[in-house]
Amino acid sequence: MIVADQKPIEEILQMLEPYRKVLFLGCQTCVAVCMAGGEKEVGLLAAAVRLARKHQGRPIEIVEGAVKRQCDDEFNEPWAKTIEQQEAVLSLACGVGVNKLSERFDVPILPALNTKFFGEVERQGVWAEVCAGCGNCILHLTGGICPIARCAKNLLNGPCGGVRADGTCEVAQNGSRPCAWVMIYERLGKLNQRQNLENIFGAKDWSSDRHGGPRKRIREDMLLEG
Ligand code: SF4
Ligand code: SF4
């Protein structure tokens, strides 16, 4: 899932400064799961903003809503009329949702969230980055643990010389994060695949990663004619 955080209220109030009629539009998928931009967060943020603006003597009219997936026009379209009646939209989706609405509507779309990473739920209230979307997965060779996303130095052949004796990463403060390569070593041991460590990864072709430029995936068999 995509993990995001809500921006500080002061920053949101500053973005909303010029506007008096705004739609707060959440997204009911990833950002709802990580409790940053779902229907509940829309309600809480709208209440806080209304109150703050009332105190400033500049009341704001807020319409609240949430769509199933803001990254898909299909779900945003039923809101088209409402969006066009606003001075601005505050999007509580990830950056993809903000981009999607901006492509479709001639209304300023403001980001209420800071989009962070692709992550897993580690435990209640904790999300961790585990995939960097490199576009050429090697997890079958590393026991299902990603060195690109989980090693602070993105090392393909590790560990580095800085791994601590207790198996934590030298980059993380206070030993708060295990070394990804120690995790890979242990995992490969459990799978009887430690021989994988004898294969030295060559230089990775990063053209499939986002550093090769904005990417697009096209499924010819899914395209509609015309
Ligand atoms: S190897 Fe690439 S695609 Fe696979 S988990 Fe790591 S970053 Fe993601
Ligand atoms: S200690 Fe491990 S996780 Fe940290 S930078 Fe070195 S190899 Fe990567």
Share of the chain above pLDDT 90, in %: 96
Residue 79 has pLDDT above 90, yes or no: yes
Q: Which of 142, 148, 150, 153 to mutate to test the pocket of ligand 2 (most atoms within 8 A of CB)?
A: 153
Nearest CA to ligand 1 atom 5: 131
What are the distances in angstroms from CA 212 to CA 114, 133, 148?
23, 12, 16
Q: How far is the CA of 135 from the centre of ligand 1 (A)?
A: 7
225: pLDDT strictly greater than 80: no
* CB of 151 shorter than 6 A to ligand 2: yes
pTM of the model: 0.93
Write the CA distances from 127 to 5, 30, 35, 69, 171, integer angstroms. Answer: 11, 12, 11, 20, 19
- Of 144, 132, 135, 154, nearest to 201 (Cα)? 154
Q: Is pLDDT above 90 for 7?
A: yes
Q: What is the CATH number of domain 2-117?
A: 3.40.50.2300
pLDDT digits (tens, 9 = 90+) for 89-111: 999 999 999 999 999 999 999 99
What digits encode the pLDDT tens for the residues 50-68? 999 999 999 999 999 999 9
- The pLDDT assigned to 226 comes to 58
Average pLDDT of span 117-139: 96
Q: Residue 180 corresponds to which tokens in the numbers above?
A: 């990804």
Task: Give ranges for CATH 3.40.50.2300 in the chain.
Answer: 2-117
Q: How far apart are CA 23 and CA 42, in angstroms?
A: 10
Which residues line ligand 1 at a C-beta cut-off of 6 Å? Answer: 131-134, 137-139, 146, 148-149
| Span 67-77, pLDDT tens digits | 999 999 999 99
Across the chain, mean pLDDT equals: 96
What percent of the chain clears pLDDT 70, i.e. is strictly above it? 100
Confidence of residue 211 (pLDDT cuts 50, 70, 90): confident
Backbone angles phi, psi at 85, to 5 degrees: -90, -5
Secondary structure of residue 202 in the 3-state scheme: coil
Summarize the confidence of residues 28-57 as an average pLDDT: 98
| Residue 125 in this model has a pLDDT that exceeds 80 | yes
pLDDT of 151-195, one tens digit each? 999 999 999 999 999 999 999 887 789 999 999 999 999 999 999
